[in-house]
Structure 1
Amino acid sequence: METKSIPCLVKKITNRSEMENRRRLGVQLILEGHTIKQVSDMLKVSTRSVDNWISWYKNQGEAGLKALKHPGPKSKLRPEQIQEVCSWLTRDATEFGFRTHLWTSRRVVQLIKEKFDIDYNANYFCDWLRKQGFSPQMPGKKAVQRDEQKIADWPKTEWSRILKKGIASGRISYSSMKPD
């Protein structure tokens, strides 16, 4: 005996606004006199879902059917702790016993654990830092022997010395040469 699969005419909905439209349609069908079972069969949802939609509509009206973005988990840090963590990031990391000046999410998470006994995953903590207004930045690499003052003085001293030496020896500049 061979069984044939029946194609589903209602696709799976994952978009929040489409879900909202489906909830509104479900409530409208109920208000028109359809049963919860009929509506759940038509929209390919559970009877519990339709029952929830009706409850939300009765308690909150149209607003109860709106598509809302999930707020995410509640912050583990209290507002004053958040301010303190942000103040750390305006200071040098070496002040907190780290070897270099660079702040990393691992270092911030480590300090939060030490100071407040709150665990965070360093891999996901970057999102938290972005929400606080911090952006990831790579420090520029600079040679240890680099002397900014010598670099600034070079055009005044060395370059003028090189120009004078070139003119005195009778060298011709490329700009004065004519093409063949």
Structure 2
Amino acid sequence: MQAAELFEQDIKPPEVARRLRVSPKSAYQWQQMWRDGGVQALVSRGSSGSRCRLSPRCLEKLAAYLDEGPAAHGWVEDQVWTAARVATLIGRKFHVSYSVSGATRLMHRLGFSPQVPARRVAERDEQAVTVWKEATWAEVKEPGRRAGATSASRTRRASRDDRPKDAPGAGADAPRR
């Protein structure tokens, strides 16, 4: 409706586009629609895309199912809702097929976000893992290299003086190319 008011004031489409933060192409299209059909032609037709296939009541039920957690619906290995699991849940409970990306959009609409499950065993003992890391791993781990022992530069060759005397080419006077 703001565009129609601006067009009525003889403001040009590029200026309308700048003021309303849209592309000039959209402003020119709106101006043409406004000329052909007046203010009514600029009334929004709603969001584009397909309609939600779940009723408002089903959406409420889905939100309640998501609040219950994945374990309540058969996923006991970890406690995260992935988009694939939500799509499966929708199919089981409402007999409606959703793609993974559609389930993601639906989750966002309901205030949830899909998560990537951590690849950990549900029975993992965090205290035992911490003790192992501090005691056993410290003993098993190899010491790191000394600083400056090697060159990380690919463009700088090691000096001939650093080579072992029996290494190939150690006795050559001229460098190879």
Question: Which TM-score tier does this pair reach, normalised by the shorter chain?
Answer: 0.3 to 0.5
Q: TM-score, normalised by structure 1?
A: 0.47
Q: TM-score, normalised by structure 2?
A: 0.48
Tell me which protein shows more helix as a share of its residues.
1
